[in-house]
Structure 1
């Protein structure tokens, strides 16, 4: 036996693995990796890393933009004051004052966006005011001198800071939504295998029973199964016409009424025991309206029919 034969792939029993065994191991390993990759905790960890990267990049961009605007705001606030004078030194405090408030709002939105909580109108108003104040103080001199290049140069940093401040909560909200959706579809790989394995176990059992019984009856036995369901549905349909409507109760009350009987809901309930109180009132009102318009038609209707039948019998 050569050295190459000894170093061939072997399993725990020191038997060489076939190509099918290797593929089976690869398939199991790939399925396990897929299940773990779709695990909500793994997805949440990956999203958290992306969230951290986005927060760091946005913070760096915002701080660089605010640092660039600080010089212009100081020059606007100093307005020609001597260097190192009280007005010149205090002018350096204006931009940090606005920037710190803006950063505080962004920091709060970073936490609220994680749990998808609305910060309210005042947070948006504060960001808008901080942006407008920074933009006006940065571009005031350029607008007064109608310097187009200066307006474009000093407009880019404040606008970029404002867009980053408005985009950051939206991105965090979408990342949280992605984690929630991943938690809703947890272990998709395991559910797929659980749904497919019962079908694979049932079909061989049916195929194994057919040669023993030698009667190919299982397939015909399944086809008549829907027939009883159709008959039961059709059997329930005639139950709907048996339900009495308002016109049926009115016909019964009309047949039982005679001149001299006071038509009331209580009398209708006596004539029709299965009528409800609301329907009995409606039937009584309808019958009263009929008797009020044509009181003599109802009692005469029965004798006319009987005499017509007697005349027809005598003629026969």
Structure 2
């Protein structure tokens, strides 16, 4: 026997108001997740990695371009493949390796806002100035303006990139700290989050005093270290790390 079934009624379409309400709820949830300090920190870390790769690529390419000029400057009129001609190739790597070592160290110190001594910057500027002079000396001696311009661009780009990348890393670190500070200021205080066995909440100044007492020379001041030393919240630890770093560097009030 053949059974005829009644076709099902068409599915009711979602109303415009309901669809807009659902999309608004989804957008609000997405913005809430994007504003979380952990998400902001992850995005900043990705940007930091991109900035580092691009700057390092430009610096290495610039130093590679200067190597041939420095070798020509050092070799003078030596015959090709002679001992002085071969030894001249060692001059530029000697200077460049020192510069790269300084920049690599600054990459770590800038991340944790640790100040380096004046000799670090002097060494960086000396290596950059030496590279510039050796690249442009022959063009200056020959009176070639185009040669001076051509051989000035790569060393100057390396110099500007070496100075800018350190400041960029410091500002990116500040961006992460600002995200945690904003989250700590805007987040509501729950009853369950209140300190146990305390009559009142610990103030920022009291946390800072505890961190100052716990710090010893050689310890890197980071938010994680501040949390371990004081027991403060994750959001507050970034502010405490920044304040303690300023006090240790002599910039605090």
- 1:236 — aligned with what? none
**In 1, Cα distance between equivalents of 2:77 and 2:129:** 23
- Counterpart-to-counterpart distance in 1, 2:10 and 2:184: 41
Call closer, same or farther: CA 1:77–1:2 in 2, change over 3 Å.
Answer: farther
Unaligned runs of 5+ in 1: 10-16, 195-316
The one-character-per-residue Cα deviations of 1:147-188 (angstroms, maximum 9, x if unpaired) are: 111111111111110000000000000111011101111288
Larger Rg: 1
Is the aligned partner of 1:21 residue 2:24? Answer: no
Question: Within 5 Å, which residues of 2 pair with 1:167-186?
Answer: 167-186=164-183
Alpha-carbon distance in structure 1 between the residues aligned to 2:178 and 2:184: 12
Higher RCO (C-alpha under 8 Å, 6+ residues apart): 2
TM-score, length basis structure 1:
0.55
Residue of structure 2 equivalent to 1:95: 92
Equivalent residue number for residue 77 of structure 2:
80
Q: Choose which of 130, 145, 150 in structure 2 pairs with 1:148.
A: 145
Query: Cα distance, 1:35 vs. partner?
Result: 0.8
Kindly state the Cα deviation for residue 146 of structure 1 after the two structures are TM-superposed.
Answer: 1.1
TM, length-normalised to structure 2? 0.68
Which structure 2 residues correspond to residues 1-316 of structure 1 after superposition, within 5 A? 5-6=10-11, 8=12, 17-186=14-183
SS at match of 1:5: coil
Contact 1:35 1:189 in 2 (8 A): no
Q: 1:8-52 CA deviation, whole Å, 9 max, x = no partner?
A: 45xxxxxxx544433332222221111101001101111111111
Q: Could you report, residue by residue, the CA deviation over 1:172-206 in whole angstroms, capped at 9, with x for unpaired residues? A: 00111011101111288876xx9xxxxxxxxxxxx
Deviation per CA, 1:290-312: give whole Å up to 9, x if none. Answer: xxxxxxxxxxxxxxxxxxxxxxx
Give the aligned partner of residue 208 of structure 2.
Answer: none
With over 3 angstroms needed to count, the CA separation of the structure-2 counterparts of 1:82 and 1:31, relative to structure 1, is same
Provide structure 2 residue ranges, at least 5 long, that are not aligned to the other structure. Answer: 1-5, 191-253
